[in-house]
């Protein structure tokens, strides 16, 4: 599968997931219409479907405009049938979807919203605003427990899984991560690479799951350094995975 990244709005990413054998493609999270349609034309692909990870406007804002010009299937979680414009294929955990000859799998990962899903095609994971490179989405509709379960599901994927998330937030996420784990050398090294990429105007997405597990504080509820830091700030906090995750999320909300 070939992945085309499309920068949209201020810091969003939409994607084209293309079956190289047939030219069939899916559009992931089109927040805008025109730049996506232009890219479909440029790439000379046959767009068959829109895959929405969740209902937020900056992931679905292009649905209506694209559907005015082309007839596509629209996938999204079944609980969001009222919130995803043009939905024709409501999906749930474990469903299989096909793009040309490529087969993908749906993961139900609530927390950022109640109806959030991810789509996995081979190594390519489209995870919207649940797992970010070096971060995770805010808990707008779900609980910390739900989000932690969702992140555990993604963390269990193979180490070489490529994390294609919904935003270019890596640098700011790493700044926050360094406040909790200044002694994590992998984290410091990643920050150097990411700064250099941003200065050169390059995208820092995707990253591998291995990199995320080593440096993303929202996947590191077992890190001794993070727990030590939280204990200093909140002496009464119990340091189980949910409370570590929830506290790190609260600190990020205030960062």
How many residues line the site for Zn ion (CB under 5 A)?
A: 2
3-state SS string for the chain: CEEEEEEECCCEEEEEEECCCCCEEEEECCCCCHHHHHHHHHHCCEEEEEECCCCCHHHHCCHHHHHHHCCCEEEEEHHHCCCCCCCCEEECCCCEEEECCEEEEEEECCCCCCCCEEEEECCEEEEECCEECCEECCCCCCCHHHHHHHHHHHHCCCCCCEEEECECCHHHHHHHHHHHCCCCHHHHHHHHHHHHHHHCCCCCCCEEHHHHHHHCHHHCCCCHHHHHHHHHHCCCCCCCHHHHHHHHHHHHHHC
What binding mask, one character per residue, do residues 112-141 give for Zn ion by CB under 5 A, x or -? -----------------x------------
Q: Does 102 bind Zn ion (CB under 5 A)?
A: no
To Zn ion, the closest distance from the beta carbon of 236 in angstroms equals 32
Of 10-18, 52-60, 170-178, 206-214, the segment contacting Zn ion by CB under 5 A is 52-60
Q: Does 56 bind Zn ion (CB under 5 A)?
A: yes
Active site residue 56: yes
Ranges within 31-50 binding Zn ion (CB under 5 A):
none
Of 51-59, 146-154, 192-200, 226-234, the segment contacting Zn ion by CB under 5 A is 51-59
Active site residue 59: yes
**Identified catalytic residue from 29, 55, 59, 77:** 59
3-state SS string for 168-180: CCHHHHHHHHHHH
Active site residue 73: no
Active site residue 58: yes
Q: Does 77 bind Zn ion (CB under 5 A)?
A: no
**Identified catalytic residue from 55, 56, 77, 116:** 56
What binding mask, one character per residue, do residues 208-247 give for Zn ion by CB under 5 A, x or -? ----------------------------------------
Pairing of strands 96-99, 102-108: antiparallel
Active site residue 129: yes
**Identified catalytic residue from 54, 55, 77, 116:** 54
**Identified catalytic residue from 55, 77, 112, 116:** 112
Residues that bind Zn ion (CB under 5 A): 56, 129
Catalytic residues: 54, 56, 58-59, 112, 129, 167
């Amino acid at each position: 599968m070939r992945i085309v990244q499309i920068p949209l709005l201020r810091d969003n990413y939409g994607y084209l997931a293309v079956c190289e054998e047939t030219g069939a493609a899916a559009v992931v999270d089109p927040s805008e219409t025109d730049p996506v349609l232009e890219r479909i034309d440029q790439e000379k692909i046959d767009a068959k479907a829109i895959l929405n990870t969740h209902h937020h406007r900056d992931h679905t804002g292009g649905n209506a405009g694209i559907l005015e010009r082309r007839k596509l299937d629209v996938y999204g979680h079944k609980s969001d049938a009222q919130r995803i414009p043009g939905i024709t294929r409501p999906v749930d955990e474990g469903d299989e979807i096909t793009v040309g000859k490529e087969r993908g799998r749906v993961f139900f990962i609530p927390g950022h919203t109640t109806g959030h899903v991810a789509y996995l095609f081979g190594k390519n994971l489209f995870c919207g605003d649940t797992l970010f490179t070096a971060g995770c989405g805010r808990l707008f509709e779900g609980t910390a427990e739900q989000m932690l379960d969702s992140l555990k599901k993604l963390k269990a994927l193979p180490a070489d899984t490529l994390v294609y998330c919904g935003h270019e937030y890596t640098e700011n996420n790493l700044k926050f991560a360094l406040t909790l784990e200044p002694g994590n050398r992998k984290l410091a090294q990643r920050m150097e690479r990411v700064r250099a990429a941003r200065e050169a105007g390059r995208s820092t997405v995707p990253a591998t799951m291995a990199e995320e597990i080593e440096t993303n504080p929202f996947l590191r509820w077992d890190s001794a350094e993070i727990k030590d830091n939280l204990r200093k700030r909140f002496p009464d906090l119990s340091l189980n995975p949910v409370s570590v995750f929830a506290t790190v999320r609260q600190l990020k909300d205030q960062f």
